[in-house]
């Protein structure tokens, strides 16, 4: 508790853009997010008052950070599970807890658990050696997707494998892998929900996500043209997973829409790129909802504020061209109703530097605006 206001102190491990935007939400709730940052120039550390420098893989650093926090939560999934269990054993509230978070940390455990729950997942196999992968691929058809069991994100840790020779080369790196069928998909969707320790669940409308090189570049809310029964199924899948796995906080479930129905791709137990549109597009943003959930406040309304919302990520473009300040200036003139979010990061090609959100009545128009504005911020040229 903050001594003067009587309001809680939430600590977030990690100081990237998710922590940065969570801090904005914390301010409204009378709080100030405490962040554990690896360096003082990380995205959230640049804007938060309560910054602790430390290493999220060091238990002493984590324990020092947790002291004085009412709840510890996460901007990423990379904290070792044994440290999380030790924090919880020491009496700290850790949300999501280690027994939930391991399913976001370990793809093999996630696939096993979702399968045991009878939920729809792509055909997959554990890979103890080359034989496992080749046998699986000969059954489902080459190529297959090999995925690192731990540590992958934003397209990292995922490799298409077309031949036994490629598989052997990948296995030689020693990275623990699983293999999955390459799913013939119509498109990707995401169901984002939140769950509190009390057990309350809340779901935003299912969105369509568009990836490029494995990185989310567009999110369309609600998913255009999604059959109502699939929307209900996706929301129920996500709420079921949140409840069965004991997730506390925001849970994002990445989904494949196929000709035969939905398949669960990935889980993230934190605010997620597919929920950035909620800052302006929903009555409660995913960042505020995550805080409400980990504090066991009643969850906020997930109602939409506009019929159609589109988010596009701003990725670092080639060097040169007008500076970012000049780009924001021109963007403001061209799209006065567009909302810009920049993360305070130094530009680097392909890096997520920010996002933009457009809201309106016509899904195609808001998508076109968001994509064009993000491309302009990225590249400095109107495309």
String of DSSP letters for 271-338: --GGGTTHHHHBSS-HHHHHHHHHTTPPPPP--BSSSEEEEEEEE---S-SS-HHHHHHHHHHH-TT-
Closest CA to 250 of 285, 225, 283: 285
DSSP 8-state class, residue 109: H
Show the site string, 156-195: x = touches its own copies by CB under 8 A, - = not.
----------------------------------------
CB of 14 to its own copies, least distance (A): 16
Residue 34 makes contact with its own copies by CB under 8 A: no
Q: Measuring CA to CA, how many Å separate 317 from each of 42, 136, 357?
A: 20, 39, 19
Please report where in the chains the tokens 């036994």 appear, as a residue.
164
Strands 339-342 and 352-360: antiparallel
CB of 96 to its own copies, least distance (A): 20
Residue 23 makes contact with its own copies by CB under 8 A: yes
Residue 29 makes contact with its own copies by CB under 8 A: yes
Residue 9 makes contact with its own copies by CB under 8 A: no
Residue 68 makes contact with its own copies by CB under 8 A: no
Residue 380 makes contact with its own copies by CB under 8 A: no
Residue 1 makes contact with its own copies by CB under 8 A: yes
Angle formed at CA 64 by CA 31 and CA 292, multiple of 5 degrees: 30
* Structure tokens that stand for 298 in this block: 């009643």
3-state class (DSSP) for residue 130: helix
Residue 53 makes contact with its own copies by CB under 8 A: no
Please report, as residue ranges, which positions from 293 to 332 form the binding site for its own copies (by CB under 8 A).
297-301, 303, 305-306, 323-325, 328-329, 332
CB of 340 to its own copies, least distance (A): 6
Position among 10, 11, 13, 20 found at the interface with its own copies (CB under 8 A): 20
3-state class (DSSP) for residue 360: strand
DSSP 8-state class, residue 179: E
Closer CB to its own copies, residue 60 or residue 323? 323
Residue 41 makes contact with its own copies by CB under 8 A: yes
Residue 109 makes contact with its own copies by CB under 8 A: no
Please report, as residue ranges, which positions from 185 to 244 form the binding site for its own copies (by CB under 8 A).
none
In angstroms, the CA 198 to CA 49 distance is 30
Q: Footprint of its own copies on this chain (CB under 8 A)?
A: 1-2, 4-8, 20-21, 23-24, 26-32, 41, 45-49, 51, 283-284, 292, 297-301, 303, 305-306, 323-325, 328-329, 332-333, 336-337, 339-346, 354, 359
């Amino acid at each position: 508790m903050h001594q003067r206001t009587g309001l809680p102190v939430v600590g977030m491990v990690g100081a990237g853009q998710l922590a940065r935007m969570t801090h904005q939400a914390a301010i409204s709730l009378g709080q100030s997010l405490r962040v554990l940052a690896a360096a003082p120039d990380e995205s959230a550390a640049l804007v938060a008052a309560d910054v602790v420098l430390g290493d999220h893989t060091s238990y002493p650093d984590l324990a020092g950070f947790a002291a004085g926090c009412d709840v510890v939560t996460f901007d990423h999934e990379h904290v070792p599970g044994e440290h999380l269990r030790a924090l919880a054993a020491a009496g700290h509230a850790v949300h999501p807890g280690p027994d939930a978070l391991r399913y976001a940390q370990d793809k093999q455990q996630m696939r096993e658990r979702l399968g045991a729950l009878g939920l729809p997942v792509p055909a997959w196999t554990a890979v103890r050696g080359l034989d496992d992968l080749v046998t699986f691929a000969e059954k489902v058809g080459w190529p297959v997707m090999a995925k690192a069991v731990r540590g992958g994100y934003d397209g990292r840790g995922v490799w298409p494998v077309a031949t036994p020779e490629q598989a052997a080369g990948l296995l030689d790196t020693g990275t623990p892998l699983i293999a999955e069928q390459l799913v013939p998909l119509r498109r990707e969707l995401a169901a984002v929900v939140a769950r509190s320790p009390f057990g309350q669940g809340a779901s935003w409308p299912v969105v369509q996500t568009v990836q490029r090189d494995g990185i989310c570049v567009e999110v369309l809310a609600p998913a255009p043209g999604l059959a109502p029964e699939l929307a209900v199924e996706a929301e129920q899948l996500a709420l079921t997973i949140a409840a069965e796995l004991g997730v506390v906080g925001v849970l994002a479930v990445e989904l494949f829409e196929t000709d035969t129905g939905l398949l669960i791709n990935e889980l993230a137990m934190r605010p997620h790129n597919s929920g950035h549109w909620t800052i302006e597009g929903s009555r409660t943003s995913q960042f505020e909802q995550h805080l409400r959930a980990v504090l066991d406040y009643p969850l906020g309304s997930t109602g939409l504020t506009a019929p159609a919302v589109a988010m596009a990520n701003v990725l670092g473009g080639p060097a040169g061209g007008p500076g970012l300040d000049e780009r924001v200036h021109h963007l403001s003139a061209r799209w006065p109703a567009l909302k810009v979010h920049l993360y305070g990061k130094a530009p680097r090609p392909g890096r997520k530097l920010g996002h933009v959100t457009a809201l309106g009545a016509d899904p195609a128009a808001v998508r076109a605006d968001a994509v064009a504005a993000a491309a302009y911020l990225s590249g400095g040229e109107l495309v």
